[in-house]
Structure 1
Amino acid sequence: MIRAVVVTPVKNSLETTLDTIESIYRSNVDLKHVVFNDFSDKNVREELERNQSNFGFDLVNLEDVIKTPSPNYDYVLRESKKLAISLKVPLIIIESDVIVDEDTIAKLLDFTEKTEGIGMVGAITVDEHGAVNFPYLKFKGEKVPVIKTERSLSFCCTLLSSPFLNSIDLNTLEKTKDWYDTIISKMSIENNFQNFVLTTVKVWHRPHGSRPWKQLKYTNPIKYYLQKFILGRDKI
């Protein structure tokens, strides 16, 4: 019996994407995994299609269903919500620069099923050495296993509960934005749900691995901020 819908938005970055897909495939829980390919290059599409049978995911090539140029995270979220609600299961977003363990998804689901009033619950992100990294550096010094927070949760590896999904209208998301983590985190709190981060559920996050241009923030910050502000990329 399917316990969750897992979605992975993809924009190029084939190597990290396939690593993410394989790690989800190895999860010890029944789930429906959908990869949304957001106008990636032709070779990425071909590799995703080639690997569908190997890793058992559904593939939606957005170029076949919509005309709006990438990024289309708003569309992905709306369609993912519809699917999760139709199957009456939570939605888990796992982005394409994240590696999960076999029991990561099961732990998120188990915590949700045992805790009342959950809107969102996220696994904490760490580097290859197990140290907390972006975007959860704000929780780096925390020792407790469960953090209840009103701060923004990232969508790196985050569960949205069924009651929360049923309470919100994602048609209100602004197309001008590239990211919706902060907006949807606030929706949860405003609708009287609780948001949590689990510090004992760790996922390996390669920051910006799914969007290589953002590495410029560290290697060439001037060029990064020119793209961010002049070209209007990376809107939150």
Structure 2
Amino acid sequence: MQAIVVTPVKDALSATLETIEAIQNAKGNFHYWVFNDYSTAKTRMALEKAQKKMGFQLVHLEELTKNPSPNYKTVLQLSQKNALEAGLPLIIVESDVKVQKDTLDRLITFAQSNPKSGLVGAITHDGEGKVNFPYLKFNRYKNQAAVKTDRSLSFCCTLISRPFLEKYDFSNLDKSKDWYDTHISYKSLEMGFENHVLMDLPVWHRPHGSRPWKQLKYKNPILYYFKKWFSGKDKI
């Protein structure tokens, strides 16, 4: 095995199945886990059917926690445990991302060649091949192969190195938050690791496919921030 690969899932079934199939067809030898985070019965049934066909590990989080979605903290803690037990790095590929054949293998190769790596992210593109959210901030580096950065990385398609996993215990994550990519990015730097974005390793990203209300950030930002702050959603 080269890595533990995980995908958290919240409906968006069509895109999710494309994500899973692309990972299953990727170059390399991986132990793949899909975490179903309180999706509909239709999605649950489709994931169970896909599991029988493709052989990945499927976890229904409703069987492990009564906490309502999102349960990213639980996913990260279980994934860290699995990765440490296997002695492998962890790669997160979210369900609105479609990797290429060599994406996972190249993330691992880069991390192995750069032993100070904490996080290594693949650059996100839209369907036309242009850099898109959440990595628009790196667009000016598009002619470089890799960028070492002190800015936060997203978990869209990101490797978390084994040395960092061994040093930082995810049980310390703040349970009041929903998302942890920013926190973990900065914790990596704080602990002396380096974070990189691979500009020559694009993945197709369809932002917020599983949580369409977050599209309001671009269409109606006032309503988005109302929901975010006054409804207790999207806590980073």
TM range (shorter): over 0.9
Q: Contact conserved, 1:13 with 1:212, CA < 8 A, in 2?
A: no
Counterpart code for 1:188: S
Q: Displacement of 1:71 after TM fit?
A: 1.2
Give me the CA root mean square deviation. 1.1
Q: How many residue pairs align between the two structures? A: 235
- Aligned twin of 1:162: 162
Report what 2:105 is aligned to: 106
Could you report, residue by residue, the CA deviation over 1:29-49 in whole angstroms, capped at 9, with x for unpaired residues?
A: 110110111111111111101
Aligned to 2:216: 216
Per the TM alignment, residue 170 of structure 1 is displaced from its structure 2 partner at its CA by: 1.0
Summarize the alignment of residues 106-145 of structure 1 with structure 2, pairs less than 5 Å apart. Answer: 106-142=105-141, 143-145=143-145
2:53 alignment counterpart: 54
Distance 2:225 2:88 in 1: 40
For 1:1-236, what aligned pairs fall within 5 Å after superposition? 2-142=1-141, 143-236=143-236
The Cα shift of 1:215 comes to 1.6
Instruction: Provide the TM-score with structure 2 as the length reference.
Output: 0.97
> Match of 1:140, SS?
helix
Q: CA deviation at 1:116?
A: 2.0
The percentage of counterpart residues that share the same residue type is: 54
The 2-side partners of 1:48 and 1:137 are apart by 32
CA contact (8 A) 1:154 1:182 kept: yes
Instruction: Quote how far apart the aligned CAs of 1:210 are.
Output: 2.2
**Partner SS for 2:131:** coil
Q: Secondary structure at the match of 1:147?
A: strand
Q: 2-side partners of 1:184 and 1:216: how far apart?
A: 25
Structure 1 residue ranges, 4+ long, deviating more than 6 angstroms after superposition: none
Matched letter for residue 99 of structure 2: V
Determine the C-alpha separation between the residues in 1 that align with 2:119 and 2:157: 10
SS at match of 2:115: coil
Q: Any stretches of 5+ residues in structure 2 without a counterpart? A: none
- Normalising by structure 1, report the TM-score: 0.97
Q: Name the SS for the 1:159 alignment partner.
A: strand
> Residue 26 of structure 2: SS of its match in structure 1?
coil
- Contact 1:150–1:189 under 8 Å retained in 2: yes
Cα distance in structure 2, aligned partners of 1:71 and 1:17: 16
Q: CA deviation at 1:217?
A: 2.5
> Unpaired runs of 5+ in structure 1?
none
SS at match of 2:140: coil
* CA distance in 1: counterparts of 2:134 and 2:195, whole angstroms: 16
